[in-house]
Structure 1
Amino acid sequence: MLRFFRTYVPYQYLSLLALLMLIRLPFVLHPLPLLIPELNWLLIGEQMSQGDLLYRDIWDSVSPLSALVYWGLDTLFGRSQLAYHAAATAVSIFQIAYFNYVTNNRDVYPDRYFWPGLIYMLFLHLSFDCLTLSPVLLSTSFLLLAFGTLIKQMDRRGATDEVFEVGFYIGLAALFYLPSALFILWAALSLLLYTGATFRQHSLSLFGFLFPIAVTVLFYYLNDSLDDFNRNLLASVFRVRQYSLTDFQALFTSLLIPLGLGVLGFLSLFNTVRSFVNFQQRVQQIMMLYFLTAVLTIVLMPFLAPMMFLSFVIPMAYFTVYYFENARKFWLAELSFTGAFGLMMLVFYQGALQLIPGIELGRLSSLRVQPSPLPADIRNRQVLIIGEDLSAYRQNRLATPYLSWDLAKYDLKNLDNYEAVINVFDHFRKDPPDYIVDHENVVEKLFQRAPALAAQYEPTPIAGVYRRKGV
């Protein structure tokens, strides 16, 4: 496969596209399981389509531009998992083509070939959860654009005012996935150490970063929702931790080969007999800075899953190219790539399709939506789930703003506070749920604090489930 993609001719883009579609073709016949984060994003898009404002009317920590994309998809296609997968494929095609284009067009490597795009395409398939339209995938597109603009500056004698674009792209990336804001440190260090950027140009880059964020803050200020924006997004990045969704075994298995090849590629730079021009050496150094910055984002992730590490694909793919390029014998490089490709596809398909029965490797069981605790005939009802298990929303709609349990705790776990009880009562009055699914045992205390609510609901035969009288 490496030999085939060694030729640098335009039609190879079609070959990459065909290979990408071939890998994902089985999921046209065998739909992927619905994931809890995916259901969460579907609910956000649905609620925004009904006129709700994110953070004020929907308590969740998803970043605003990602929510805007989900709103657009819901407006066009409704609550469609297939639409998310199709959009994610379109975003993946852009990233593969752009990464291959920019590395070759800027002569990032000594030779030109389609290996960068091929390896980037492979690493996008860390696990089947990477096939959905996650905020990290959307954010990575703008980090790629920032990388392309940054190395364009490094290829000149001095930086230009285009550094504004670098900051602007990172600002947009942060509005898709907030931890990506840390990459402004990567851009600032790269401009400082490897370009002749002046103080004015550093300021331009910072202004470009702050501009889209300031526009977003202004929007929420004008909608009298700045406190909601601060609590549900800015402050939550340090507090919201859905550790129950983490699958460490699947994460380790998915990252082992890409990360291992990236490390081997980085180490091969110290043993190669090939020489690199000054520009290529600087790109190697800023890509190492990128990787270190990406590591810092791990502590801000709401949960750990392969999809959350898609921003690592850029440096892993970049250094892996060097591993195959610096191989002493080409047949050994071809054999190594074939083995890595086969093992990654085995993990990928095993997680989604369970090719080998009885082995749960890569299944991401904690991330999947489980069967609903509500009877199957309860559909299209207004439901409030108190807890992290969102399965009852699969066939129903969200009532009240309390989507994220980590944020709902501000009120529902603070019922000894009079203001919290008033908030809950007001939300119930404006958008009363037909059913309440209580996984955290807070409803009885809520009913004690708000007897008017207790008079409206009755327990059902299902433990922890309450029905509004008259429904």
Structure 2
Amino acid sequence: MLSFFKVNDPLRVIFIFILLVIIRLPIWLSDIPLLTEEIHWLTLGAKLAEGKAMYRDVWDNVAPISAGFYWLIAKFFDGSRTAYFIIAAFLTALQSIMFNSMMNRSEAYKQKTFVPGFIYLIASNFSFDFMTLSPTLISLTFLLIGLRSLLRMERTDTEQSILNTGVFFGLASMAYLPSFSFLLMGIFALATFRVSSFQRLFLAFIGFSLVWGSYLIYLYYNQALESFVQASLMSIGWNEHDFIQSWDQILIILGFPLLMFIFGSFRTFSNNAFINYQQSIQQVMLIWVITAIISLIFSIYTTTFQLILFVPAIAFFTAHELLMIRRSLIGEITTAFYTLSLLGIMYATAFGFLPKNLDSPYQDALSQPINGMETLGERVIVFGDDFNYLKGKKLATGYLNWEVCNRFFDQVDSYDEIRSIYNSFEEDMPDAIVDLNGKGEQVLSYLSIIKEQYEKVILDNGAIIYKRKN
């Protein structure tokens, strides 16, 4: 396997696509439940497909480019999970090919080879939720394009490449907001590549600002700027960090890839045969890991699909390790061991093939059925942060994400706010109001005319529902 991908043959691209399909087909054909975040994205896309505007009519903190992807899928593919899988697979294959190309063009290794792309592909599958279209995956595509511009600095050192680095890191942050931290990595890396002029370094910030400035102007003219700032930008650091999966659950998934990264980086940095430019790239990829950790800190929640940001660094250093193995047999055995271990962990955790005393690391991330919801109508609003109640439903009103919307309902004693809530209900009356935290009852007490149209129902799990009367 290693010897096959050591050949830098463009035809290896075909094998990348075939291998990706073979690896992911069991997941695609399985009945693994939706992630709760997938319900979130599907619901958001469906609402936007109704003609509603993000941050003006729909209150959520998903970044704009990712929201655009979900809108397109809802509009043209009827919100199909299959579309999420196919687009995610295409982006993963594209990233693998792009990563391999940039490493060969920058001469990061002692030989031109397809091993980095192959390892990138395998590492992109160590968690089954990498296979869905998460904002992190979308953002990573732009980050890699920015990295490609960054690695040209030693060869070209042109203002255009520096500007492009800032532009693509800006686009990455518009797909996944915590990716803004990679701009700092980019500026530091530019300095590493001996771009010592402050004016030139500032070009990266200008490129980043051009992207965001254009979008903010667009929001201003569409009367959505204030809502965007409150819903998305100010959610970073304001909202309480939510661990969808605990650290021990995450380490079950990340443990072996982390060991691969440690072994690969130790082997790479202990070798003194690299030229200065190659050492600079190694330092950049090490900084990449630190920046990915920082992005997790700035995220409003932590879950395993965010770990895909670490894949480029894992692939980079593991490829170095494999290419430095002199005996071909040992290289083949090591490659096979890494491949089978990563895929084995992915399949075992995805399908629950685990020891009896070990719970699935995804048990808190997967959706759970809610008995009784199927009889409560199609359009639902949830007072609370459980997206399970929206599975198979459509969102009524624009109040989707409780972390964003609770500020509206905390001000129900304000005439302007209660009038706004009343208008939202009047325009898009819910068939069911799910009240998980008591706020629903409080709001209805201010909306007496609307409250008369509902009756109180208690589900088997104790959840309070206000069902619209026939």
Tell me the TM-score range normalised by the shorter chain: over 0.9
Instruction: Note the aligned Cα RMSD (angstroms).
Output: 2.0
Say whether 1:35 aligns with 2:30. Answer: no
Aligned to 2:208: 209
Q: Could you say if the C-alpha distance between residues 244 and 297 of structure 1 is closer, same or farther in structure 2, counting changes exceeding 3 Å?
A: closer
Aligned to 1:318: 316
What SS does the corresponding residue of 1:163 show, helix, strand or coil?
helix
Aligned to 1:164: 163
CA distance in 1, matches of 2:89, 2:180: 25
Alignment counterpart, residue 439 of structure 2, candidates 438, 442, 456 = 442
Paired residues for 1:398-437 under 5 Å: 398-437=395-434
Say whether 1:155 aligns with 2:140. Answer: no
Cα deviation, residue 413, structure 1:
4.0
Deviations 1:357-408 (A, max 9, x none): 85755451111111124343445x2111111222232222101121111112
Is 454-463 or 110-119 further displaced after alignment? 454-463
Q: Is the contact made by 1:247 and 1:364 (CA closer than 8 Å) also made in structure 2?
A: no
Alignment counterpart, residue 349 of structure 2, candidates 345, 348, 351 = 351
Aligned to 1:263: 262
Q: Could you say if the C-alpha distance between residues 155 and 332 of structure 1 is closer, same or farther in structure 2, counting changes exceeding 3 Å?
A: same
Paired residues for 1:60-459 under 5 Å: 60-156=60-156, 158-196=157-195, 198-241=197-240, 243=242, 245-272=244-271, 275-327=273-325, 329-356=327-354, 358=356, 361-379=359-377, 381-459=378-456
Cα deviation, residue 242, structure 1:
6.0
Aligned residue type for 2:29:
L
CA distance in 2, matches of 1:405, 1:89: 31
Cα deviation, residue 96, structure 1:
0.5
Cα deviation, residue 423, structure 1:
3.4
CA distance in 2, matches of 1:52, 1:186: 36
CA distance in 2, matches of 1:342, 1:32: 21
What SS does the corresponding residue of 2:61 show, helix, strand or coil?
coil
Cα deviation, residue 241, structure 1:
4.4
Q: Is the contact made by 2:192 and 2:280 (CA closer than 8 Å) also made in structure 1?
A: no
CA distance in 1, matches of 2:342, 2:385: 31
Q: Could you say if the C-alpha distance between residues 428 and 448 of structure 1 is closer, same or farther in structure 2, counting changes exceeding 3 Å?
A: same
Count of aligned residue pairs for this structure pair: 467
Cα deviation, residue 191, structure 1:
1.4
CA distance in 2, matches of 1:396, 1:289: 43
Cα deviation, residue 115, structure 1:
1.2
Q: Could you say if the C-alpha distance between residues 362 and 12 of structure 1 is closer, same or farther in structure 2, counting changes exceeding 3 Å?
A: farther
Aligned residue type for 2:441:
E
CA distance in 2, matches of 1:115, 1:333: 12
Paired residues for 1:15-30 under 5 Å: 15-30=15-30
CA distance in 2, matches of 1:35, 1:64: 21
Cα deviation, residue 468, structure 1:
1.9
Aligned residue type for 1:23:
I
CA distance in 1, matches of 2:372, 2:388: 9
What SS does the corresponding residue of 1:154 show, helix, strand or coil?
coil
Q: Is the contact made by 1:386 and 1:437 (CA closer than 8 Å) also made in structure 2?
A: yes
Aligned residue type for 2:449:
A
Deviations 1:321-357 (A, max 9, x none): 1222334644333323322222221221122222458
Unaligned runs of 5+ in 1: none
Q: Is the contact made by 1:436 and 1:466 (CA closer than 8 Å) also made in structure 2?
A: yes
CA distance in 1, matches of 2:206, 2:402: 35
Is 232-241 or 215-224 further displaced after alignment? 232-241
Aligned residue type for 1:239:
W
TM-score by length of 2: 0.94
CA distance in 1, matches of 2:415, 2:297: 34
CA distance in 2, matches of 1:321, 1:444: 58
Q: Is the contact made by 2:455 and 2:468 (CA closer than 8 Å) also made in structure 1?
A: yes
Q: Could you say if the C-alpha distance between residues 461 and 31 of structure 1 is closer, same or farther in structure 2, counting changes exceeding 3 Å?
A: closer
CA distance in 2, matches of 1:116, 1:296: 25
TM-score by length of 1: 0.93
Q: Is the contact made by 1:150 and 1:166 (CA closer than 8 Å) also made in structure 2?
A: yes
Amino-acid identity (%)? 28
Q: Is the contact made by 1:384 and 1:402 (CA closer than 8 Å) also made in structure 2?
A: yes
Q: Is the contact made by 1:174 and 1:181 (CA closer than 8 Å) also made in structure 2?
A: yes
Deviations 1:233-257 (A, max 9, x none): 1101223446252243331122112
Is 101-110 or 171-180 further displaced after alignment? 101-110
Aligned residue type for 2:211:
P
CA distance in 2, matches of 1:333, 1:259: 19
What SS does the corresponding residue of 1:369 show, helix, strand or coil?
coil
Q: Is the contact made by 1:17 and 1:93 (CA closer than 8 Å) also made in structure 2?
A: yes
Cα deviation, residue 30, structure 1:
1.7
Paired residues for 1:48-67 under 5 Å: 48-67=48-67
Q: Could you say if the C-alpha distance between residues 258 and 198 of structure 1 is closer, same or farther in structure 2, counting changes exceeding 3 Å?
A: same
Cα deviation, residue 275, structure 1:
1.0
